[in-house]
Structure 1
Amino acid sequence: MPYSKTHKSQTKDRILRSATELFCRHGFDKVSIGQIMEVARMTHGAFYTHFESKEALFNASFLESFKRSRVARLAKAPFSIKHLTALVTDYLNLRALRDRGAPGPEALLFNEIGSDRPRIKKLYEEAYERMKKMLETRITALGRLKKLPYAADRETVAEKARGIIAAMVGAVAVARSISQEREQHLILQAAQKQILGILGVNETEFDPAVRKGSAMRLEHA
């Protein structure tokens, strides 16, 4: 009897979840198809029913993790400094990077920094452009709503978006390489202050509820 569509969808999801877990822990090059299928508790041959290659699976894992991530949901939130900074705060949350059950796309890509594989480099470019466009859209909207202390022209908006991305990625990359939790938290907090400065937002004027929520997340990261 042929497998139902539901069964095929469930087995594909099992492979995706197993692959994402292993890619986050070990990186693309150190994970084999056999290891992925062993974690998924499926035969090696079943892999090619759903994916044509390991790179195709990595691509699918990245896209699926982005869809499921809180960052993607926050990107659809109302246009306000509060929500934009909540997006940044969530990205800077180390707990999300350690959560093997539902890691974000950055958890997959950080292990592949410097990769020479064309497909993975393309994923980096796509992820960068997606994040940059999302930030530019929100910064432009905030400028039109007179919520920023500067003119949100195209060049300024692009510069702010680049600065925010550089601060976010750099902070998480450094924090992940340090074992001392207190220092990790201080790095992330410093990055958040830097990003508020890029946005032109005074930290003392920022929403206290969001600051409190951020502190709680960092304390329990």
Structure 2
Amino acid sequence: MSYTPRHKEQTRQRILQAAAKLFCSHGFDRVTLNQIMKKANMTHGAFYAHFSGKSSLYEAAMQFATSNAFWARDDKQTEGKETHIKALVTRYLSWGRNDKEHPSPLEFLVTDAAHKEEKVRQAYQACFDSLVERLTEILKKRGNKEAEALAEETVVSLVGTVAIARSFDKPLQTDFLKRAQERIVNRLNGTAKC
């Protein structure tokens, strides 16, 4: 049976969406192809029709997740306003709970940044770079002369905050995230017109 190109692309998208959700929640090592295909409600045969292995799926899934993450979307109404910076930081520090359909890969994959497989590390780096570029654009539009350095510093702070907060109990975690959000937003707003 021959499938249409449209059907093949829809199948690929279902696999990518399932993989992105699982990888973003659990990381590369803790997710199996069986779990991904079960979540996509498909067979292993469908997997091998689109991907050569788990690493190539991870790479494609992270590109998919990055392109659909909240920071990749343009919000023309708030892009230059103070509220956009705060919304970006708040959403990131909420660990994707506000965006279950399109989780942010950087929220959970700190362990994948130093993975033994080069494709996994490169996919993580691409996600990191994407968030830095997006934040740099926003800061440049706001007149920040050191936008790229501040954007990189901010992304490192966000990723580190989430990594540390995940080890805390709920009450401490909530307070820690709230304090971090306030510090990061104040830093971004305090230097926005430099």
- TM-score class, shorter: 0.7 to 0.9
Checking the alignment, whether the CA contact within 8 Å between 1:81 and 1:142 is kept in structure 2 is: no
TM-score by length of 2: 0.82
CA offset at residue 6 of structure 1?
3.0
Give, in whole Å, the separation in 1 of the partners of 2:167 and 2:86.
Answer: 24
From the superposition, tell whether residues 178 and 98 of structure 1 become closer, same or farther in structure 2 (CA, over 3 Å).
farther
Larger Rg: 1
RMSD over aligned Cα atoms: 2.6
Checking the alignment, whether the CA contact within 8 Å between 1:97 and 1:104 is kept in structure 2 is: no
Paired residue for 1:197? 186
Give, in whole Å, the separation in 2 of the partners of 1:139 and 1:21.
Answer: 29
Give, in whole Å, the separation in 2 of the partners of 1:187 and 1:12.
Answer: 39
Provide runs of 4+ in structure 1 moved above 6 Å: none
Checking the alignment, whether the CA contact within 8 Å between 1:19 and 1:58 is kept in structure 2 is: yes
What pairs with 1:155-194 in structure 2 (closer than 5 Å)?
156-180=146-170, 182-194=171-183
Q: Where does the alignment leave 5 or more consecutive residues of structure 1 unmatched?
A: 144-151, 203-221
CA offset at residue 199 of structure 1?
2.2
- Tell me the percent identity: 34
Matched, 1:123 2:123: yes
Give, in whole Å, the separation in 2 of the partners of 1:25 and 1:137.
Answer: 28
CA offset at residue 111 of structure 1?
4.6
Counterpart code for 1:168: L
From the superposition, tell whether residues 72 and 7 of structure 1 become closer, same or farther in structure 2 (CA, over 3 Å).
same
Kindly tell me the number of residue pairs found equivalent between the two proteins. 190
Q: Deviations over 1:87-139 (max 9, x none)?
A: 11111113x15865432222452352431221121123222222222222222
- Where 2:114 maps in the other structure, the secondary structure is coil
Give, in whole Å, the separation in 2 of the partners of 1:80 and 1:36.
Answer: 39
Paired residue for 1:210? none
Q: Deviations over 1:50-99 (max 9, x none)?
A: 112211111111121222222222566522222122111111113x1586
From the superposition, tell whether residues 178 and 60 of structure 1 become closer, same or farther in structure 2 (CA, over 3 Å).
same
Identify the range of structure 1 (108-117 vs 48-57) with the bigger mean alpha-carbon deviation. Answer: 108-117
Paired residue for 1:136? 136
Identify the range of structure 1 (161-170 vs 96-105) with the bigger mean alpha-carbon deviation. Answer: 96-105
Paired residue for 1:93? 94
Q: Where does the alignment leave 5 or more consecutive residues of structure 2 unmatched?
A: none
From the superposition, tell whether residues 201 and 74 of structure 1 become closer, same or farther in structure 2 (CA, over 3 Å).
farther
CA offset at residue 170 of structure 1?
1.3
Matched, 1:10 2:10: yes
From the superposition, tell whether residues 159 and 15 of structure 1 become closer, same or farther in structure 2 (CA, over 3 Å).
closer
Give, in whole Å, the separation in 2 of the partners of 1:24 and 1:129.
Answer: 17
Give, in whole Å, the separation in 1 of the partners of 2:54 and 2:172.
Answer: 36
CA offset at residue 49 of structure 1?
0.8
